[in-house]
Structure 1
Amino acid sequence: MLKPPKAKVPDLEDRQQLLNARRNTKMARSTHAYVRGNTIKFYDWLEQAEIRSLPHGPAIWICGDCHTGNLGPVADAKGRIEIQIRDLDQTVIGNPAHDLIRLGLSLATAARGSSLPGVTTINMIEALFAGYAEAFDKDRESDEPVRRPELVRVVMREAVRRSWKHLARERLDDIQPTIPFGNRFWPISKKERAEIEALFRNDAVARLATSLRGRANSGDVTVLDAAYWVKGCSSLGRLRYAVLLDVDGGVIEGDDLCLIDIKEGVKAAAPRYPDTSMPRDNAERVVEGARHLAPHLGERMRAASLQGRPVILRELLPQDLKLEIEQIGEEEAMEVARYLALVVGRAHARQMDKSTRRSWLAELRRSKTRSIDAPLWLWSSIVELVGSHETGYLEHCRRYALAAA
């Protein structure tokens, strides 16, 4: 029987060239995609924008990259599901207003991509502010249930019914205990494989898999397969691996398998408040921020070191999904904006005491005008940033077309 040829292991330079081309293609699809892939330019433009009296909120952990794709259903270690922030690479102790503006920009570009009229965008920003303020408007410590928009209810129903087989077919193309090489996964070198196997011989790292599966911490963990994970914009210039583990030696049923995402922790582009105490290690920073902003996700993450670089490990669960808002209807636009802002507001509010919540709410409500039921600083920043990103997007498309030619 002939053996299939071995897949070529791309070197670092080849990886970066391929990833760069993929990122440029992805970001050229729409202004909304361009916004999602441009965190650094967001803060550059925000700093340069002529926005007066941007409020300086309390020093709390913020997402730092709070666009719609970074929100969605997240399961905790016991399988309970909530809509939370699902990507904390940019998390810092900083100004909570930055999360609100970033989310508003993302929603505004989604509205433009859906050909919604400008009046709808105005209404979305008003709903965005109302939802965020609602999180601080009551003196309560616990989250209360809230009616979800239909778009959110659909993705929640899908998350609840998903099993390991759904995750395997979606991520791996198969339910067999291997990672298939191809468009999404690239082969790694023997040295990379050996370093990954050594990482999971560490008891603290191995417990990430055994504890989340409800098994004793003494359970065996074996690396079945590993690959470089191609994740578009987020993979560029950093370590990114998918690792398939056998938790107890069975490797027959899906419950015996565990898919781990290893991502390098890099310096955040989001500005941090000076004179605040944060972990210096970028992986530890991400894990700490996740514990404050997205408890379901934070308890499933660990910081470690691989190839001398900080990395974040988390088990991927079938229930973890992103909200895809490439197209949105006029009627549900305001509901989605209000709900997502409430989710972010609650992530911020749970880090504040009662007095701080009250003072931040008062600060949020200043500079409101008669023409729009949202603060002037919020409206002005989103409008100016939409224009900047539209210009940047068209320039990106021009460069992308020239490079392709």
Structure 2
Amino acid sequence: MKTIVHPEDRLRLLLAHKNRKMAVSAHAYVRGSTRRFYEWLNQADHAEIPAGPPVWICGDCHIGNLGPVGSGGGGLAIQIRDLDQAVIGNPAHDLIRLGLSLAMAARSSDLPGVVTALMMEKMVDGYTSAFLLEATDDADDVPVPKTVAGAMHAAARRSWKHLADERIEGEAVLPLGSRFWPLSQDERQEVEEFFSDEKIRRLAASLRESGDPDHIPDHISVKDAAYWRKGCSSLGRLRIAVLLQIGKGKERRYCLMDVKEAARAAAPTDPSADMPSDDGERVCQGALALSPHLGRRMASGRLLGRAVFVRELLPQDLKLEIDTLSQEEAVSVAEFLAYIVGRAHARQLDAAARLRWIAELGRSNGSPLEAPIWLWNAVVELVSIHEAAYLEHCRRFALKLERPDEVVG
């Protein structure tokens, strides 16, 4: 029997879900404790971290926020897939965040510390190699690891039927239960008004597989909508899945839209940055700069009094899941993912700026490691902080498990 979650119960259930996910492993804890990373950046003295050129950065650059992304026109590439924290800031922060995520993945895979050191070195190799290409050149010179190649192969084989089988039930209905929760009457009404806006209708029209992208079909309607329990770092934020019907009769087709609240970014911003004041538009602009495949199929707006951004979910959009790594694969993954982040940063800079950043990035302060000492020191300190915080989280979560009345299943 399915449990139907009412709107007033959402926050309590989301908190329990987040606690469970973060207790799975230290690596999972890092993914769900983004603000602890920002606190470290803001509170400690990090004079040794180089001040990179102000560019759009992911802001929350961990392994799970990279993966296969479809272009909507048949293209497929590994790109950054979550831009909630995107800001114009210091690209070194993305490197540190990625380094922490990779180091925790290595520890969760029970790999020796020497592998983490090698990962940091290869990470810098992959990142800097991206800056040696032409700004518009997306050729992959870095070998694709088996883990990533497998995800790409799976993404390339997926079709709308796969997405529908996973997300949709019966006659084009979102199945209420553990993932999809009912909207209130007022929420449903506002969702319908949101998708009647010409800007949002134009986005839906532009994502069609054929026809004139400037032509807005006469019939675009909300077939179904539900609150979507997804992720664990955006606790309490608005997240709504919307099934749109475009066209009628034999010509009708469906598309699944993801509407997500754009909260104020916690990632440090460059003081001179000129960013949109609207957070939905900030996310969309960051996506265009960092992940073009994704950015070109997004739009911003306001829903239920909150800034939001909306995108069509494509069957090719997959999260890069890395549960365990061998020593060889860990080093290869570190190099490749850093290369992807490097491409996202490098395409925003001219040739001279790219060379200046590479030179600044490489200063190692006499470290025997090939990786810069500032990066190594930052990752080591952050691993220590997050390991201790993870154990404390598990202790507190275990205590709650002993009191069933406080735990929501």
- TM category (shorter chain) comes to over 0.9
1:196 is displaced (CA, Å) by: 0.5
CA RMSD of superposed structures (Å) = 1.8
The equivalent residue for 2:320 is 323
Identity percentage of aligned residues:
55
Aligned with 1:56 (options 51, 73, 76): 51
Count of paired positions? 397
1:22 is the counterpart of 2:21: no
2:29 and 2:41 mapped to 1: Cα distance? Answer: 16
Deviation at 1:339?
Answer: 0.4
- Indicate the residue corresponding to 1:373 in structure 2: 370
Q: Is the 8 A contact 2:201 2:216 kept in 1?
A: no
Give 4+ residue runs of structure 1 displaced > 6 Å after superposition.
none
- Equivalent pair of 1:22/1:232 in contact (CA under 8 Å): no
Q: Of 260, 266, 285, which aligns to 1:288?
A: 285
1:202-241 aligned at under 5 Å gives the runs 202-213=197-208, 214-216=210-212, 217-219=215-217, 220-241=219-240
Matches within 5 A, 1:334-353: 334-353=331-350
- Which residue among 256, 260, 265 is the counterpart of 2:257? 260
1:229-272: CA deviation from partner (whole Å, max 9, x where unpaired): 0013144221110000111124x79x811000000000111010
Cα deviation, 1:207-232, whole Å, max 9, x if unaligned, reads: 22221113443212111100000013
Pick closer, same or farther for the CA change 1:46–1:96 going to 2, 3 Å.
same
Task: Give structure 2 stretches of 5+ with no counterpart.
Answer: 403-409
Letter in 2 for 1:93: I
Q: Partner of 2:277: helix, strand, or coil?
A: coil
Residue range with higher mean Cα deviation, 135-144 or 290-299: 135-144
SS in 2 for 1:137: coil
Matched, 1:164 2:163: no
Provide closer, same or farther for how the CA distance between residues 227 and 138 of structure 1 changes in structure 2, counting only shifts above 3 A: closer
Instruction: Give the counterpart of 1:305 among 282, 302, 307.
Output: 302
Q: Using a 3 Å threshold, how does the CA distance of structure 1 residues 370 and 239 change in structure 2: closer, same or farther?
A: closer
Structure 1 residue 46: Cα displacement: 3.0
Q: 2:126 aligns with which of 112, 124, 131?
A: 131
Q: Which amino acid aligns with 1:290?
A: A
1:154 has 2:153 as partner: no
Q: Aligned partners of 2:333, 2:234: CA distance in 1, in Å?
A: 29
Offset of residue 47 of structure 1:
3.4
Q: Which residue identity does 2:51 align to in structure 1?
A: H
1:69-218 counterparts in 2 under 5 A? Answer: 69-146=64-141, 147-172=143-168, 174=169, 176-213=171-208, 214-216=210-212, 217-218=215-216
Question: How far apart are the structure 1 equivalents of 2:371 and 2:317?
Answer: 32
Residue 388 to residue 57, structure 1, CA distance change in 2 (3 Å): same
Are the equivalent residues in 1 in contact too, given 2:5–2:177 (CA < 8 A)?
no
Secondary structure of 2:6 counterpart: coil
Q: Which amino acid aligns with 2:205?
A: T
Q: Which AA in structure 1 matches 2:152?
A: M
1:317 deviates by 0.2
8 Å Cα contact 1:62/1:93 also seen in 2? yes
What SS does structure 2 have at the residue aligned with 1:389?
A: helix
Structure 1: distance between partners of 2:135 and 2:347 = 9
- For 2:205 and 2:131, how far apart are their aligned partners in 1? 38
Cα 1:376/1:52, change in 2 over 3 Å: farther
CA contact (8 A) 1:73 1:82 kept: yes
In the alignment, structure 1 segments of 5+ residues that lack a partner are none
Contact 2:4 2:177 in 1 (8 A): no
The separation in 2 between residues aligned to 1:176 and 1:102, in whole angstroms, is 43
Match of 2:269 among 267, 272, 277: 272
